[in-house]
A and B are shown apart, each in its own frame.
Chain A
C-alpha cells in the first residue's frame, strides 16, 4: 500500500508554555525592585497552583461529560470547612514548633477535606446532576440551586461568621533569599501543586485509566462503543475532581487564614476564566491557565489593584483572540 510521505513529527506546543515566563519578564520593568518581583512571582505561582487544584476536576468533568457544574465552588467551601474543623480541633499540634506535630494536624485535615468534598461530589452527581445530563440550561439552573442549598447548610453547620484559621507554626513566616522575602506557605503551595499536577499527568499519560479518560474527553460515544461504561468512569472522575477541589479549598483557606461560606463561590469566576484560557477539558491547559491567572492577578494587584480581576478577563480575551478554543484545545467529536 502507498501511504504518501512520512507524517510530521508530533512536537510539543511550547508557545502557550512560553507565556508564563513571558508574562513574568514583561512585568519586571514595571516592578520597582527585583526582590519585590521575586516575591510577587512566587506568590503568583502559588496562587496559580491552588487555582489549578480547584479547577482541574471542573475541566475534566466538563470535558468528559459536557456538564456545566456551577456548584463546583461548594466542594471548595466544604473542603475548606472540613479541613478547618480538623485543624482547629488539633490546635496544640498546629501551634507546636515541630514539623512532625504540624503534619499530624495537616495530613488528617487534608484527608478530611478531600473525603468530605469527594463524598459530596458523589452525592451531587447522583441526586442533582444525573437527572439533567445533556441539558446545559437545566444544569446551570440546578447546580446554581444546589450551590445555594449547600451554602445555607454550611451556615447551619458552621455558623455565619468568618472563622479565623492561623497557619501551622512551621509554615508561618518567610524564607529570605537575598533581599526577597518568600513566604514558606507559598513555597509549600507550589510544591503541593506540582505534586498534584505530576500525579495527574502520570495517571492520564501512563495508565489505562488515563487513556480512557483522555479518549472519553474526545469522544465518549466511541468509548462506549468500545465496551466501556463511561458513566462509571465519569462518576469516578467527578468524585476525584470534587476531592481535589476540597484539597484546593483547605489550601486556599490556609492561604487566606480564614474561611467563610462564600470561599468557593468567590473563586468560580476565576476558575471559569482558567478553564476557558486553558481549553475546556484540557488538564495541561488548566495548569498553564491557572499559572497565568495567578501571575497576572499578583502583578496587577500590586501595580493597579482595581484592575486585578479585569486583567484576567483581558488575558482571557487576548488568549481567545489568539486561540479561540483555548491554549490547548481538546479535540471533541
Chain B
C-alpha cells in the first residue's frame, strides 16, 4: 500500500492554557477527498491549522510526502505544495479578484489554460476579474478563496467548511467543483458540517471528538450506517436530508 500523502501521529496542540488536540492520528491518502467531521469544538479547525503550521504542535509528528514537517514554518509548508482555505476564507478584500489570484501564483502569472479551467469551475471569477474582493457575495468569496488555493497545481488542499453560510444552489455548485478537483492530482482534506455535502464528495472520512480521532474509514461505509452516524455525530445523515 502506498504511503499516505499526509500522516499525523500523536499530534497534540495547545492554544494558551487549552489542550485542544490530544493525540491526533490519521492519514490522508495520495488521491481523493478526505472528510474531517465532528461536533463543534471537536478540534477540526485546530487540526487544519496545525497541519498548515499556523499553530505549532506541542507533541507528535506530522509527515507530508514522506518527510517530517512538524517544525517547518507555514511558508515552507505552503512551498511544499500545501494550500489552505480558512473558515473565514481569508480573501484580501481590498485587492481585486485578479490581484488575489496573482498573489497566490508564486511562480509568476498563472497560465492561460489554468485560468480557463478555474473560470470553468467558477465563472464568477472571470465575470468579476477586476472587482474588489470585498464587494463579492459570500458564495463568490468562497469561490475566490478556493480558486486562489488552486491557481497553481498543489499537492494537498486543506479546506475549512467550504459550504458555511452558502445557499443550497451555491452548495450544489460547490459539490460539482469539488468533484472536478478530485479528478486532478490534488488530494483534499475538508472540514465540513454539512453532511449532505460530505457524503456527496467524500471518499474517506475521519471523525473527531474531544481532540482525538474516534473513527476513520470509507465515507460510503459511514453514510450507510445510521447507528454509527448517530453514535459519532449525534444525528444521522438520513435525518439531515
- Residue numbers of A with Cβ under 8 A of B are 1-4, 6-8, 10, 208, 211-212, 214-215, 218-219, 221-230, 330-331, 333
Whether B169 and A2, one on each chain, are in contact in the complex, defined by CB atoms closer than 8 angstroms, is yes
Contacts of B73 in A (CB 8 A): 224, 229
> Residue B86 contacts which of A6, A212, A222, A227 (CB distance < 8 angstroms)?
A222
Whether B54 and A221, one on each chain, are in contact in the complex, defined by CB atoms closer than 8 angstroms, is yes
B84 within 8 A of partner (CB): yes
Q: How many angstroms from the CA of A2 to the CA of B73 in the assembled complex? A: 39
Q: How many angstroms from the CA of A223 to the CA of B90 in the assembled complex? A: 9
Whether B135 and A10, one on each chain, are in contact in the complex, defined by CB atoms closer than 8 angstroms, is yes
Interface residue total, chain B, C-beta cutoff 8 A: 37
Contacts of B99 in A (CB 8 A): 211
> Residue A228 contacts which of B75, B83, B140 (CB distance < 8 angstroms)?
B75
Q: How many angstroms from the CA of A7 to the CA of B128 in the assembled complex? A: 8
Whether B79 and A227, one on each chain, are in contact in the complex, defined by CB atoms closer than 8 angstroms, is yes
> Residue B132 contacts which of A10, A208, A212, A221 (CB distance < 8 angstroms)?
A10
Query: Shortest Cβ distance from A147 into chain B, in angstroms?
Result: 31
Contacts of A222 in B (CB 8 A): 86, 90, 92
Report the stretch among B4-12, B102-110, B198-206 that lies at the interface: B102-110
Q: How many angstroms from the CA of A219 to the CA of B103 in the assembled complex? A: 13
Report the stretch among B37-45, B119-127, B209-217, B227-235 that lies at the interface: B119-127
Whether B74 and A224, one on each chain, are in contact in the complex, defined by CB atoms closer than 8 angstroms, is yes
Max chain A C-beta neighbours (<10 A), residue from B74, B84, B102, B104:
B74
Q: How many angstroms from the CA of A67 to the CA of B123 in the assembled complex? A: 40
B94 within 8 A of partner (CB): yes
B241 within 8 A of partner (CB): no
Max chain B C-beta neighbours (<10 A), residue from A215, A219, A225, A333:
A225
Given A227-B106, A331-B134: A219 and B92 within 8 A (CB)? yes
B52 within 8 A of partner (CB): yes
Closest to A230 in B: B75
Contacts of B140 in A (CB 8 A): 3
- 0/1 per residue, B82-102, Cβ < 8 Å to A? 011010101011110001001
**Other A-B pairs, 11, CB within 8 Å; known A218-B94, A218-B95, A225-B90:** A7-B136, A215-B95, A215-B103, A219-B90, A222-B86, A222-B90, A225-B78, A226-B106, A226-B148, A227-B106, A230-B75
Whether A218 and B92, one on each chain, are in contact in the complex, defined by CB atoms closer than 8 angstroms, is yes
Q: How many angstroms from the CA of A51 to the CA of B231 in the assembled complex? A: 65
Whether A214 and B75, one on each chain, are in contact in the complex, defined by CB atoms closer than 8 angstroms, is no
> Residue B123 contacts which of A3, A4, A7, A215 (CB distance < 8 angstroms)?
A3
Q: How many angstroms from the CA of A208 to the CA of B105 in the assembled complex? A: 11
Query: Shortest Cβ distance from A279 into chain B, in angstroms?
Result: 11
- 0/1 per residue, B38-68, Cβ < 8 Å to A? 0000000000000010100000000000000
Query: Shortest Cβ distance from B116 into chain A, in angstroms?
Result: 16
Q: How many angstroms from the CA of A7 to the CA of B140 in the assembled complex? A: 11
Whether B75 and A229, one on each chain, are in contact in the complex, defined by CB atoms closer than 8 angstroms, is yes
Given A218-B93, A224-B75, A226-B78: A211 and B128 within 8 A (CB)? no
Query: Shortest Cβ distance from B127 into chain A, in angstroms?
Result: 6
Closest 4 interchain pairs by CB? A227-B78, A222-B90, A331-B93, A224-B74
- 0/1 per residue, B127-153, Cβ < 8 Å to A? 110011011110110000000100000
